[in-house]
Every structure is written in structure tokens, then in C-alpha cells.
Structure 1
Amino acid sequence: MTAPSSLPPDAVPPEQAGPPASPRGPVRRRAPLPDVLRGVALLGILLVNAQDFAGFREWTQTGADRAVQVLTDVFANGRFISIFAMLFGWGASGLLARQGAGVFLRRHLVLLAVGTLHYVLVWHGDIISLYAVVAFALLFTLRLNVRGLLWLAGGLGVWWLGLGVLEGLAALERGMEAARFSGLPPLDSGETYGAVVTERAVDFLGNLIGGALYNGAWLLALFCLGAAARQAGVLLRPHEHLRLLRGLSVWGLVIGLPLGGLLAWMNTRGDYASGVLSVPVRMGGGLASALGYVGIIGLLTVRERLGPLEAFAASGRVAMSNYLAQSVVMTAVFYPYAGAQFGRWGAAAAVGLALVLALAQLPLSAWWLRRFGTGPLEWLVRRLVYGRTRQGG
């Protein structure tokens, strides 16, 4: 399972600003909902990716480890990567509309370079590079309105999920004997950092192309949903979309939570067919629950009852820096060149460590923003795209 990175827009556009702080002045505050959603999703993504970092197999967990794995599958697995992908589409489409194709292309080429370095030097689960490549398809959606974007997202999503279900049914017909593919990196105990980097450098291009071919339609569908939300102003003006948010909060969870339970059951089984079928169940149920979470947090935002969730806004504003920092810390703990803990921890301990790390990033992000105004990697990306520092991002 890999962690997508939803990256904040280059700068706060006028439409992302909330109402003026004072009727006498032009000072405006950021709309909180996109940042809170991004920060919450960043935490959820890390909880799910603890499995990949730590190297345990879901279907081998027992006792407390199995309980934690089930909770992760029901409430997090596939849910938060869907939020991240939609937010990425939201930000990318806004950048394209505001600043045109030139800046859009430069930014995503820079993201491709950042993602490449992340994959090769730190972690095989990088998603920044894949998002950057698939995002180029958004250039062909510039003239689509909300309805057109929703139709395109629906068509791509149904097609991709349908192919996954058909592949899973075919696997069932062939029998249940084949062992499940874990998806874990091939790390040998005692393997040096140089050897791991060399292997990842050799594998990168093939994995990127394969990922774009396999996941591209689904990711583009999520990007289009985010682009439609931007055009409609759902995240920036949630008070205008109360009926939609209520519907999402109810129906998203009514559909998504049972599918999460089905996913949890599938992840207790070690056969190949269950592994194949779990993919469309994970992503279809994940999208439904993700929309439910967006609806709930959107309603809380309108009612000004975010409470502790407000702390996630700071983490969301420096999502790219936090995402890469998570990879550095988790691989330092688990990978064989830094302590040989890979495959030795169960779900409870690994997810617990991920939770501590993600929560620790909340006050650290707030402190960093007060001192510097933007995250270090966010600053670097803007500098590379524009040739100068942009403030307010």
C-alpha cells in the first residue's frame, strides 16, 4: 500500500481565502476545510502504510495485531488516499485554471523529480511521481464543467472498478490455492543502503509506467472529482453545499463502512483471489467512506465545531514535507540498513508508532509555520517552479 501525497497549491488563491478579517482591510484568512482534510488524511495514510514500512502481512496477524488491522481496514484503508487524490486534483486544477499550462507543466515536472528522488533514496512507495505523471491528463479537462467532470470521473471509476472485479472473479474460478502477493519490498536482512538504492533506481521507471497504466484511470477519476469540487466551491464555501455534505456524510458511510468490513475479512485470508478482489473493494469502499468523511468534516466546518481537528490544518499546509519526513523516520526504524526491524513488528506496534509520529507532526508543523511561513519542500518546489519565493502557501 502506498501513500499518495496531496500537495498544497502554490499559493493561496483569492477563492481559497475566507471572508475578510475586517471590512476595512484586505486581510483574508485561509479557508480551513482543505487544510484540515489534508492533515487528517496525512495521518490516516501513515497508519495504513505502517504495514508496508514495518513489513508485516495483514493475513498473518493475530490477537491485538489482528484487531488493529481490522480497525485500520474498516476505517482507514483506501479512505484517506482517496481524500488525498481528490485534494491533489482540486489543487492541480486550480493551478491550471489560474496560471495556465506553462506553470502547471513546470510544477508537475518538479514534482516528478521530487518523487523520483523520494522513491530511489528513501522509499519504494512514493506516490508523488505517479500523481505528477497522471496529472498531465488534466490538461485535457480544462474546458469541462462540473457536470462533465463528474461524468468523466464516474465513467473512469466504474470501468476501473469493473475490471478489478472481473479479474478477481476470474481468480476465484481458477481456484484459491495460489498464495497471496504481499506487495512488500524485497529487503534482505543486512542489505546495505547502497544496494537498496541501486535496486530502486533500476526498478523506478518500470514501476512508474506500470503504476500509471494500472492506476491511471482510477487516479484521474479522483482528480476529476477534486476538480469538480473546486469548480463548485464545495471546500471553500461549504455553507453553500449543506444538502450535499449531509448526503455525503450519510450515504458515504452507509456504503463505505460495510465494504470496509468486507475488506477486513478479505485481508484475513492469504489466498491470491482474495488479494485480487480486495483491490476494488478497498478502493470503491474507500472512496465512499472518504466522501463520508469529507461530508462530516465539512458540516463541522460550517458549524464552527472542528474542535481538535483544527490542529490538523497546520500539518495539511506542509503535507509534502511531512509526507517525506514520515518516510525517512519509518524507514530509519524498520529497514535493514538502519536496524533490521523489517518484518519483526506486528500491526499494533507499527500502527502505534505511526500514530505517535503523525500526532507529533501537528505541533511541529504549527511551530514551523509560525517561524517560516511555509514548509521546506513546499518552499523549494515554489522556488524551482517560479524562480523566486512565493509567500502565503
Structure 2
Amino acid sequence: MRNAVRIALTAAIIGGIAALPGLALAEVNAANSPASTSRPFKTTAVARFDTPWAIAFLPDGRMLVTEKGGQLFLVTPAGAKSEVSGVPRVQAGGQNGLLDIAASPGFARDGLIYFSYVEPSVGGGTLALARAGLKEASGKAGLDDLAVIWRASPKGGGGQPGGIIAFAPDGRHLFLSSGDRMEPETAQNTETNRGKILRLNLDGTAPADNPMAAQGGVQAEIWSLGHRNPYGLAFAPDGSLWENEMGPRGGDELNLIRRGANYGWPIVSNGDNYSGVPIPRHRTRPEFEAPVIYWTPIIAPAGLAFYSGKLFPQWRGSAFIGALRGEALMRIAFDSKDGARQADRWEMGARIRDVAVDRDGAIWLIEDASDGHLLRLTPAK
């Protein structure tokens, strides 16, 4: 369908069980639901960065912002920036570089931060996860006792690194997205941790109760598989884990992540290969988990955040997704168990890389550009 955004609402299927009630396939035509230029929020540019990638809030209201080239900044809500020293060298280029960042669940006590990056290695850069203390003295900030606690296997790779961090609600585990590095077949290979969502202990080791823990090695880390390019990962208020990923030529996805589930890439997709060669659709292979929402044409979804703040009470429980190709901010509403719909799509005029919510309920965005703005969204009235 020309100029159409196809949003498919499907039930999650595990091992061939029947579709859940109340969820059906729907198609929304972009002509009837275009991106809106009328926004119910005021947008304030707070600071500028060189290709920023991720935002992480600290308990005191300040934030950490990464730049793809390898710089890390401590930023006040008013936009004052100070560079954090001690960041390891990264391999920057294309989709690779310094990626996500997150404060430890116990940051107020331990002062630890976690961040993902592509480190230089033979055959392309290797996705890595590091942990370090954030130390401040004499008005300067730096990383202390830095340790790489996880590396992708095998080393090297192309683009599509993933690298998004989400801590479990109980603070005992972290989940990490790992992209297929432009080698699609690796997403189905359990002897690699590419194309997977991983569940790790806070020290980077594999938990004993993971789905394939008894297999040991890389397999012990895997929580779900069959992912392509996962750039959004977040827990909803009800404790469920959601992920968004970029499809190929069509078929961007929003997925409910289930323990041990296989999401089908590259065997199935709601998009096609860049060459135009079709890929079988999810409906043809019910043994694979289908997306709850998919977008064709693509929006190139990036950051994902759930809202539970006070400034926009009407949006509590909604999720927000930044769109790179779509240059928009999407709001996703959840209408029933496992069901979702695109409720709003606001035109932002820039590629939106990450989305975060502060303790007061303001929504923050960063633009994916060499002169990208850090934006604060508050109610229009």
C-alpha cells in the first residue's frame, strides 16, 4: 500500500498456543493518521552535543549523556555540561561507538554506572559492556575502577550492535540487547550472543536460572533470540519487558519479550530484504513470536521509555519511542494484556535517538545529529 503505515496488532504466540482474545490484525493508513505538527507539549532546547546517543538520569536530577564518538558528559537540567574523563577508546563509525548508559539500581549507595560501546578489535569492533564508579572532585568528574564485564562472542562485526541496557525492576539483573552485526544468520545461532536479548547478573555473569543456563558458555546468557537491530529496551510499570528493533526493508517491530522466546529473524519478518527478495511473514510460522506492533514503511525506532510521571497524567502507562527515519516521537498506548497501538505520532523535524523521563515527569529527547539538541518536553499549558 503506497504511503501507508501498517501497524499490525497480533497476539504473542509461544510454542503454537492460540492467539489471546481481544487482539486482532489492524492496518492504519498514513493518509488518515499522519504525523501531527500540533504538539500537546512545549519543547525547550537545553544543550547541544555531537551525535549524542543515550541519556541516563541520576538520583539528584542530573543526567549522563553519551556521544557516539566516545565522549561522556555530566549535564544539569539547566544544560550545564562537564565532560567525564576515563572513557575507554571506542570504535566509532556508522552505527558503532559509545552507546547506551545507565546508573546502577543502587547508584545512591555504590555510585556505579554501566555503559555499552563498540571497542576496537580485529575484524571490526566488538560490543562490550563496562561498569565503573562515577567520581567527582574539585568540580571534575571521571570514571574509576572501570572493568569490562561482558564482551560479545565472536569478536568483530559490522553495524547493528544493539547495546541497550535495562535493569530488572528488582535491581538484581540487567538485560542487554545485542544486534546481529549485519550477519542475519547469527540471530538463530545459540553459539553466538548476536541477535539476542541477554539476561546477566550485575557483574556480567550468567544467572543460574536463565533458560539455557545448563548449556553454559554463551547460551547461558540468552533470554530471547531471533532479533535484528534492537535499539529500545525497557520495563513497563507492570514489570513486563518490551523491545523495539529495526526491520530490513519494512517491518520495524515492537515486541513483548518473553523468557526463551524466538522472534524469528531472519527466517520471518514483516519486511523484505533490501534486494527486494521477500521474507516469509510471521503469520506463516506461528512457532516464532510475532511483533505486537510493526511498521511498514519503516520509522527506524530507537530509544524506548515508559511514562509514570506527574506532568502528563493522561499518559501514565504509555511508552514513548524515538523515530530516526520517521523524525518523530511516537506514543504507544496499551489497551489490554499484551496488546498495544500507536496512539500518537508527533513530527519533530529531526532524527530522535533516545527518550528518557526525569523524576518530575518531563520527557527528554536527544537528536541524532552532529549538532544534536537535548530537548525537554513539558505541558503546553
Q: Same fold (TM over 0.5)?
A: no
Higher relative contact order (CA 8 A, sep 6+): 1
Greater per-residue strand proportion = 2
Greater per-residue helix proportion = 1
TM-score where L is the length of structure 2: 0.29
TM-score where L is the length of structure 1: 0.28
